[in-house]
Structure 1
Amino acid sequence: MSDLTAAVTIAAPPAAVWALVTDVERMAEWSPQVRRSFVAGRPVRLGTRFLNINRDGWKHWPTSAKVVRFSPHEDFAFRITENRTVWSFRLEPSADGGTVLTQARETPDGIAPISTALVNAVLGGQRHFTDCLRTGMAQTLQRIKAAAES
Structure 2
Amino acid sequence: MDTDLQAEIEITAAPEHVWSLVADPERMAQWSPQVESVRVKGDGAVGVGTRFTNRNRDGELVWVTHGEVVRYEAGREIAFRIDENWVTWSTLVEATEAGTLLRQRRETSEGISPLSQELADGFYGGVEAYGQVMLAGMQQTLATIKASAEQDGAEQDGTEQ
Same fold? TM cut 0.5: yes
Compute the displacement of 1:63 (Å): 0.4
Question: Is residue 45 of structure 2 the alignment partner of residue 43 of structure 1?
Answer: yes
Q: What CA deviation, in whole Å up to 9, does each residue of 1:6-64 have, x standing for no partner?
A: 00011111111111111211211100010111111212111110000111110000000
Structure-1 separation of matches of 2:128 and 2:71? 28
Q: Which residue of 1 aligns with 2:77?
A: 75
Q: Which residue of 2 aligns with 1:33?
A: 34
Structure-1 separation of matches of 2:118 and 2:93? 33
Q: Which residue of 2 aligns with 1:64?
A: 66
Q: Which residue of 2 aligns with 1:108?
A: 109
Aligned sequence identity (%): 47
Q: Which residue of 2 aligns with 1:117?
A: 118
Q: Who wins on radius of gyration, i.e. which is larger? A: 2
Compute the displacement of 1:128 (Å): 2.3
Q: Which residue of 2 aligns with 1:86?
A: 88
Relative to the length of structure 1, the TM-score reads 0.94
Question: Is residue 97 of structure 2 the alignment partner of residue 99 of structure 1?
Answer: no
Q: Which runs of 5+ in 2 are unaligned?
A: 152-161
Q: Which runs of 5+ in 1 are unaligned?
A: none
The runs of at least 4 consecutive aligned structure 1 residues that moved more than 4 Å come to: none
Structure-2 separation of matches of 1:147 and 1:122? 32
Q: Which residue of 2 aligns with 1:10?
A: 11
Relative to the length of structure 2, the TM-score reads 0.88
| Paired amino acid for 1:126 | V
| Aligned alpha-carbon RMSD (Å) | 1.1
Compute the displacement of 1:72 (Å): 1.1
